[in-house]
Each structure stands twice: as structure tokens, then as C-alpha cells.
Amino acid sequence: MNQGRIWTVVNPGVGLPLFLGSVAVIAILVHLALVNNTTWFPKYWNGAASAAAPVAAPAAPAAPAKK
């Protein structure tokens, strides 16, 4: 382990829960930011279907080939 000596300073019984707790808090904050600052994310969570893409107009018939 690259930073294995940290556990000589910080007890793993304290350091690991703090580390994992901070990761969880950051993940929750990111999700809250997405929910509050986008219009599509709440619709995604609610399962709302996206608006159908407009159908393209049919192509014009091709001109007959010249002989």
C-alpha cells in the first residue's frame, strides 16, 4: 500500500469511517446538485418518457435517368 504509514498516525477505526462517510456525503451532494440544477434528471428519476423526435419528411422522388 502506497500510504500504509498513515495508519500509524490515524486509528483505522476512526479514519476509515471518516473517509467512507466523506465519500458518501460528496456523492449525495453531487446528486442533489444534479436534481436542483437540471430539468432532465428529475424526469429521468420519475421515468417520464422523452419527447418523440420529429419525423423527417419523406424524400422527394428522384428524377428519371436520362438515356
- Asked if 20 and 28 count as a contact pair (C-beta separation under 8 A), the reply is no
More confidently predicted of 6 and 55: 6
Mean pLDDT of 18-23: 96
Using the predicted structure, report yes or no on whether residue 43 has a pLDDT greater than 70: yes
Which sequence spans correspond to the domains of the chain? 12-44
Mean pLDDT of 33-53: 77
Using the predicted structure, report yes or no on whether residue 66 has a pLDDT greater than 80: no
* DSSP at 1: -
